[in-house]
Structure 1
């Protein structure tokens, strides 16, 4: 992908840094991944200011002329992946620095978000910061993060399709007990009477293994065309065109439509993005730590992040603005094509006016249709879902084994294994990726 930087182009510098940073993260090159993701974070801040010239060019053509800015949930994921890079390298102090960046970004987003019920908080990001804070002994911030994650999961599960992970209940009980927050502890114990949890004091001589599982692929965006006829003949043409089998190549279809609608001159095209989910087939991961002697310690992963739901929400929040802008742009293009047609007719003698006007009209209206395109850019190297497993084990040598359990009774995917040397009190982060 490094060779593809030039293919992304200047307008997609942020997207390149995000894609490249994520692929390096998945490849285990955490240092280079953080270098690219830091560039992405800097670019996000830079893009808050934008050239009026670029805005004008985009309005006259399409939004692909604008620099790729990304959605707020993607901005948060930049810091999330950076934190996980540090955690995977065992640099938990640096990971906590990124956790504070996540806190800051989410606090700013929550204060500035226009949609009160839209994406303004991130339960998974808050939960991860809680895990990081607790891993470094910062129980106060860990509890605050866990409590926020609990509240966000509860408030957003309708659209995020991510129920509160059961392990978060144990986290709230463990941290409130350790902090001697009697009232809060008793309240959580009343709310979660069946939750099994272990006091933090009983875990002081144990090591913790946190497995981050990335499953599936993020949804992709495609164009959806809305062809608006402004005469009866144009309506008949649009209906006929929809019933005709087009060329399999999208560029060929676009070219054919441009000629057809250019000749008619009474069809306005609007292009809007739509999401195409690519849901994972993984139901959960089965994780085990096998010691040289004795029974293995096992756990199953729990869903903490639904990337498809976040992408759908982000697009839904932006769609009114995208649609309004696209309709206004289409109207301007149509008016410009009409003006060019009439202007060309007045610029020549009366005998040549009909065919000159026809030629210019076909070109102007055809160009208006051809130049209309939806912005389908997104951070597609993200997963569809993220699941987390947390295991506590006595110090010693282990063989970690991670196996993906498929939905619908499908055969389990052969997982990865690696040797681990665990020390009392430490936290080890493992990264797992399943493309299915």
Structure 2
């Protein structure tokens, strides 16, 4: 009876029902003409043990459908949850309970604390919320926080990488090698050209050209083939009379400048949904008996596709990739696998001891049989992650004559306005069947 009650209580926190399955209906709704139900459903989970994750999901879902006010509120809930975890100088009683329960169930019992790349993107998207709501001051606050977090995550990673111990397990080692190939051998899960480009763009649009130059330069280091980032770097180096201007000009050529009666159009194009985690089994022996643990993984490879063509301007404009968020997610998991393996092995050993203690003097008893069934049922990989993020993002930009343009891209179209000496920022979010356009004239 105790086992049945425990299993019943676990079914609502990704313990037995995999998180990707729980999010499937919400993602389907976001890719439909009636997406509001997805926001309401996701917001309902903010008070749960996985409240941080649901706040991220609800914030992104509201953002996708253009409700930037609601998105700001949900994202602020996620920010508060992250800060609460940061402020836990001592381990709380509830945290001890959760981690203790994880040894009897699985990692899904532990409250979700987010990945480094998720936290950085949270502030990046919050900055865009403020910008598209007309609050430049709020946007700059989030931009600076995003930059700070990229530095902190790098320091945290460097510190943790010195202490991580690789376990001698051929299955896990082979899976880590496969994940490296699937992510295009990405070296960092948190340093993103997309985040640096967006923060640089917002710095420039809001009058902070020197800070923009610094971020564009970091973006160029992470996305060296993106010609639009190169153009921004050359243009700003010249305008700010930076000593690197001549070097950049020789490497990438002169950047185009506006002619009379022209404005600038910048496209940020996000597509699809980030891949979800799957699981794989790792066999090993305990007390001479074979056991299998479940660890999360990603199936397939997620190399960013080529550019898309934007029609409707004076001539076609082709986007270029700036980030593959799927690759960031894969790389983050690869970095975590040694820790996950250590914890899972300890858990299965604890469960094995429980099963042995449940045996009677005559061997197998009803208690030991129930424990074995319980162990099999509860051995579930932690497959939680922020699933309403886009799979990848691309950018494009051009100076065009002032006027109104009917642009066509992917599955949709929209009318945009271009004014002399100003920038029209076009944020395109494509969820697979529907393409949504949001514009801001600055």
TM band (smaller chain)? 0.7 to 0.9
Q: Show CA shifts across 1:120-140 (max 9, x none).
A: 522210111111111123211
Matched ranges for 1:28-43 at <5 A: 28-43=66-81
Change (3 A) 1:387 1:40: same
Structure 1 residue 370: Cα displacement: 2.0
SS at match of 2:424: strand
Structure 1 residue 377: Cα displacement: 0.7
TM-score (norm 1): 0.76
Matched ranges for 1:288-327 at <5 A: 288-290=311-313, 296=314, 298-327=316-345
Which structure: larger Rg? Answer: 1
Structure 1 residue 378: Cα displacement: 0.9
Distance 2:261 2:199 in 1: 23
- Asked if structure 1 preserves the Cα contact closer than 8 Å seen for 2:46 and 2:55, the reply is no
Question: In structure 2, what is the equivalent of residue 335 of structure 1?
Answer: 353
- Asked if structure 1 preserves the Cα contact closer than 8 Å seen for 2:306 and 2:320, the reply is no
- Asked if structure 1 preserves the Cα contact closer than 8 Å seen for 2:306 and 2:321, the reply is no
SS at match of 1:354: coil
Distance 1:337 1:35 in 2: 47
Gaps of 5+ in 1: 155-163, 233-265, 291-295, 346-352, 405-413
**Is 2:244 the counterpart of 1:184?**
yes
- Asked if structure 2 preserves the Cα contact closer than 8 Å seen for 1:217 and 1:278, the reply is no
**Is 2:426 the counterpart of 1:430?**
yes
Distance 1:274 1:370 in 2: 19
Structure 1 residue 204: Cα displacement: 8.7
**Is 2:376 the counterpart of 1:369?**
yes
Q: Show CA shifts across 1:63-93 (max 9, x none).
A: 1001111210011111111122233345444
Matched ranges for 1:19-418 at <5 A: 19-48=57-86, 49=88, 51-114=95-158, 115=161, 117-153=187-223, 164-181=225-242, 183-192=243-252, 195-199=253-257, 202=258, 206-228=262-284, 266-276=289-299, 283-290=306-313, 296=314, 298-341=316-359, 345=360, 353-354=361-362, 357-396=364-403, 398-404=404-410, 414-418=411-415
Distance 1:84 1:94 in 2: 10
- Asked if structure 2 preserves the Cα contact closer than 8 Å seen for 1:215 and 1:282, the reply is no
Change (3 A) 1:66 1:26: same
Structure 1 residue 206: Cα displacement: 3.7
Structure 1 residue 282: Cα displacement: 6.3
Gaps of 5+ in 2: 1-37, 163-186, 433-442
- Asked if structure 2 preserves the Cα contact closer than 8 Å seen for 1:88 and 1:429, the reply is no
Structure 1 residue 297: Cα displacement: 5.0
- Asked if structure 2 preserves the Cα contact closer than 8 Å seen for 1:87 and 1:429, the reply is no
Distance 1:284 1:93 in 2: 33
Q: Show CA shifts across 1:44-65 (max 9, x none).
A: 1212335222111112221100
- Asked if structure 1 preserves the Cα contact closer than 8 Å seen for 2:42 and 2:58, the reply is no
How many residues align? The count is 362
Question: In structure 2, what is the equivalent of residue 243 of structure 1?
Answer: none
Q: Show CA shifts across 1:397-428 (max 9, x none).
A: x1241323xxxxxxxxx43222x333333323
TM-score (norm 2): 0.75
Distance 1:432 1:378 in 2: 23
Distance 1:52 1:373 in 2: 20
Q: Give the helix-richer structure, 1 or 2.
A: 1
Question: In structure 2, what is the equivalent of residue 249 of structure 1?
Answer: none
Structure 1 residue 325: Cα displacement: 0.7
Q: Show CA shifts across 1:129-170 (max 9, x none).
A: 11111112321111111111122335xxxxxxxxx3111111
